[in-house]
Amino acid sequence: MKRMCLVCQNIDCKSRGSEQLMGELEKRIAAKGIDDVEVKPYMCFGACQEGPNIVLYPEKSWYAKVNVDDLDDITDHLAGGPHVQRLDTIDSSLKELIYQLLDTGVF
Protein backbone atom coordinates (compact mmCIF):
# COMPACT_ATOMS: atom_id res chain seq x y z
CA MET A 1 0.00 0.00 0.00
CA LYS A 2 1.21 3.48 -0.83
CA ARG A 3 1.84 5.88 2.00
CA MET A 4 -0.78 8.59 2.17
CA CYS A 5 -0.66 12.31 2.55
CA LEU A 6 -4.25 13.21 3.50
CA VAL A 7 -5.20 16.85 3.00
CA CYS A 8 -8.40 18.10 4.65
CA GLN A 9 -10.88 19.56 2.19
CA ASN A 10 -13.69 20.62 4.53
CA ILE A 11 -14.94 24.22 4.48
CA ASP A 12 -12.47 25.80 6.89
CA CYS A 13 -9.31 24.19 5.54
CA LYS A 14 -10.45 24.90 1.99
CA SER A 15 -11.05 28.55 2.80
CA ARG A 16 -7.46 28.69 4.06
CA GLY A 17 -6.06 27.31 0.83
CA SER A 18 -5.98 23.53 1.26
CA GLU A 19 -6.95 22.94 -2.37
CA GLN A 20 -3.87 24.81 -3.60
CA LEU A 21 -1.77 23.00 -0.98
CA MET A 22 -2.81 19.65 -2.45
CA GLY A 23 -1.76 20.60 -5.96
CA GLU A 24 1.51 22.11 -4.76
CA LEU A 25 2.33 19.06 -2.63
CA GLU A 26 1.80 16.72 -5.57
CA LYS A 27 4.23 18.78 -7.66
CA ARG A 28 6.93 18.89 -4.98
CA ILE A 29 6.62 15.17 -4.20
CA ALA A 30 6.96 14.36 -7.89
CA ALA A 31 9.91 16.78 -8.23
CA LYS A 32 11.71 14.97 -5.41
CA GLY A 33 11.11 11.63 -7.12
CA ILE A 34 9.06 10.20 -4.23
CA ASP A 35 6.86 7.58 -5.86
CA ASP A 36 5.36 5.71 -2.89
CA VAL A 37 3.19 8.56 -1.59
CA GLU A 38 -0.31 9.37 -2.70
CA VAL A 39 -1.76 12.81 -1.99
CA LYS A 40 -5.46 12.36 -1.19
CA PRO A 41 -8.29 14.67 -0.17
CA TYR A 42 -9.90 13.91 3.19
CA MET A 43 -13.28 15.18 4.31
CA CYS A 44 -12.32 16.43 7.75
CA PHE A 45 -10.11 15.73 10.73
CA GLY A 46 -12.22 17.81 13.11
CA ALA A 47 -9.58 20.46 13.81
CA CYS A 48 -11.12 23.25 11.78
CA GLN A 49 -9.63 26.12 13.80
CA GLU A 50 -6.16 24.72 13.21
CA GLY A 51 -6.39 24.29 9.45
CA PRO A 52 -5.22 23.60 6.89
CA ASN A 53 -4.56 20.13 8.26
CA ILE A 54 -2.44 17.43 6.66
CA VAL A 55 -2.04 13.91 8.05
CA LEU A 56 0.65 11.48 6.90
CA TYR A 57 -0.49 7.87 7.19
CA PRO A 58 0.62 5.28 8.23
CA GLU A 59 3.39 7.45 9.76
CA LYS A 60 0.73 9.22 11.84
CA SER A 61 2.21 12.66 11.61
CA TRP A 62 -0.34 15.48 11.83
CA TYR A 63 0.65 18.87 10.55
CA ALA A 64 -1.59 21.85 11.34
CA LYS A 65 -1.81 25.45 10.08
CA VAL A 66 0.19 24.43 7.06
CA ASN A 67 1.03 27.03 4.45
CA VAL A 68 2.94 26.84 1.19
CA ASP A 69 6.21 27.75 2.89
CA ASP A 70 5.96 24.57 5.00
CA LEU A 71 5.63 22.20 2.07
CA ASP A 72 9.34 21.69 1.46
CA ASP A 73 9.82 20.55 5.06
CA ILE A 74 6.85 18.17 4.77
CA THR A 75 8.19 16.82 1.48
CA ASP A 76 11.60 16.33 3.13
CA HIS A 77 9.92 14.37 5.90
CA LEU A 78 8.23 12.15 3.31
CA ALA A 79 11.66 11.57 1.74
CA GLY A 80 13.03 10.33 5.06
CA GLY A 81 13.87 13.65 6.68
CA PRO A 82 12.94 14.81 10.17
CA HIS A 83 9.46 15.24 11.63
CA VAL A 84 8.36 18.90 11.35
CA GLN A 85 7.95 19.63 15.02
CA ARG A 86 6.70 23.24 14.70
CA LEU A 87 3.58 22.05 12.80
CA ASP A 88 2.79 19.31 15.32
CA THR A 89 0.34 21.24 17.52
CA ILE A 90 -2.80 19.12 17.65
CA ASP A 91 -4.16 17.81 20.92
CA SER A 92 -3.29 14.16 21.51
CA SER A 93 -6.87 13.00 22.21
CA LEU A 94 -8.07 14.24 18.83
CA LYS A 95 -5.06 12.64 17.17
CA GLU A 96 -5.95 9.37 18.85
CA LEU A 97 -9.57 9.57 17.58
CA ILE A 98 -8.55 10.22 14.00
CA TYR A 99 -5.67 7.70 13.96
CA GLN A 100 -8.01 4.98 15.28
CA LEU A 101 -10.41 5.84 12.48
CA LEU A 102 -7.66 5.66 9.88
CA ASP A 103 -6.51 2.33 11.35
CA THR A 104 -9.96 0.89 10.58
CA GLY A 105 -9.48 1.84 6.96
CA VAL A 106 -11.73 4.89 6.78
CA PHE A 107 -10.09 7.13 4.16
Partner 1 sequence: MEGVLFPRGVPEGREGLEKYRSRGGYDALSKVLATSAEDVIKQISDAGLRGRGGAGFPTGRKWALTRETPEQPHYLVMNGGEDEPGSKKDRVLMENLPHLVIEGVIISAYAIGAAKAYLYINAHYEAATKSITDALAEAKDAGYWGENGSEFSLDIEIVPAPHNYVAGEDTAVIEVIEGKKAWPRQKPPFPVTVGLFGKPTSVNNVETLANVAPILLHGVDWYRKFGTADSPGTMIFALDDDVNRPGVYELPFGTPLRYLIEECGGGLKNGKKIKAIMSAAPSCAFLPPEKIDTPLDHYSMRDAGSALGCGVVRIVSEGTCIVEEVLRIAEFFAAESCGQCPACRMETSTLSMMMKKVQQGQGGQPILEQFGKILAFNKGKGFCSLIVMPGPPIESAITLFPGDFEAHLATGKCPAN
Contacting partner 1 (CB under 8 A), which of 5, 10, 75, 87?
Answer: 10
Distance separating alpha carbons of residues 32 and 34, to the nearest angstrom: 6
Least distance (Å) from partner 1 to the CB of residue 100? 6
How far does Cα 107 stand from its chain's mean position?
Answer: 13
At residue 37, φ and ψ (nearest 5 deg) are -120, 135
> 80: buried, middle or exposed (CB in 10 Å: 19+, 13-18, 0-12)?
exposed
State which of residues 59, 72, 91, 103 lies at the interface with partner 1 (CB under 8 A).
103
Binding positions for partner 1, 70-99, rule CB under 8 A: 94, 97
Q: Shortest distance, CB of residue 45 to partner 1, whole angstroms?
A: 8
The binding site for partner 1 (CB under 8 A) comprises: 10-12, 43-46, 48, 94, 97, 100-101, 103-106
